[in-house]
Amino acid sequence: MKRKIIAYNFVLTEALEQLDDRFEVEYFDGINPKTDSAFLDALKQAEGIVGLALPVDKELLEHAPLLKIVSNNSTGFNNLSLDEMTKRGVMGTNTPGVLEDTTADAIFGILLAAARRIAELDHFVKAGHWTGHLTTEQYAIDVHHKTLGIIGMGRIGSTIAKRGHLGFDMKILYHNRSRNIEAEEKYDATYCDLDTLLKKSDFVCLMTPLTPETENLIGEREFKLMKNSCVFVNGSRGKTVDESALIEALRNKEIYGAALDVYRIEPINENHPLLQFPNVVTTPHIGSSTLETELKMANLAVENLLAGLTGKRPKNLVNPEAFKGE
């Protein structure tokens, strides 16, 4: 009898073909993992889970007595209750080092779109409103030689800084838990406290992981510190921003606009107030969503899974205390 694996919201199933000989794979997509009876039944025999955004908490773990590893098909792992997993000897892994360039392209792309009003003016043309010379009402703002403030200068933040500094001659400010000397040397980035960054930046780009410390990091107070000409960009996680405060800042014209790839609840409701602002660019969490990058991530997730199931230490283990091998 083959050992059981659960694939959860795992789109590129061809990456799982290497499991076929040794494992039985059950696929689940678009289900409620708390109530789906087939999923809960599969958990009883599952030794591994691979996929995206499955909340792995105490309740789930109690349904999965044989579970050895949860392989996240993403860089983030805030969906994993690592303390509970480690208590039970369940390993957790992620897929870092794959998506930095792709995500930086996407985030800098929506920054450009918001500054130059690309989505808004695309609609303007397609709606037949372009009938002559543009007026100042259709003018946008420059990106080059402006100040880009990056909150969270990790791998992706650094890659965004590279695009801003080397491609657009931007001055880079950053705020991070610790200094990023490499970014300072390569991109002339200047470390500063959060308030200084918010006050001086023409573009504020939020790229922090979601932690208890960063939840609602940007709220009413922070938006009031930003320039009226500032574009706010969120490429981190939706819960790092108080969306009600962002809506008020946009309504009161406290900021120029926003570019958002993440939201507190995803998919975002079609009637959400943020979708009513023409000066807000909204994309459906596309950071790493290219075929090339997603396939690399999927293959790495499967590689991590296989390692954990065959007694080896996964390359991208995020709770090393749970590993019981040599």
Q: Which residues are catalytic?
A: 237, 266, 285
- For residue 9, count other CB atoms closer than 10 A to its CB: 16
Distinct helix (H) and strand (E) counts, the chain = 12, 12
What are the respective helix, strand and coil percentages of the chain, to the nearest 5?
Answer: 40, 15, 45
CA 28 to chain centroid? 22
Residue 51 φ/ψ region, left for φ over 0, alpha for ψ in the -120 to 50 degree band, beta for the rest: left
Cα(113)–Cα(140) distance, integer angstroms: 10
β-bridge mates for residue 49, sequence order: 6, 70
- For residue 190, count other CB atoms closer than 10 A to its CB: 16
Q: Are 200 and 147 in contact (CB under 8 A)?
A: yes
Q: Which long-range contacts (CB under 8 A, 24 or more apart) does 186-192 make?
A: 186/162, 187/158, 187/161, 187/162, 189/150, 189/153, 189/161, 189/165
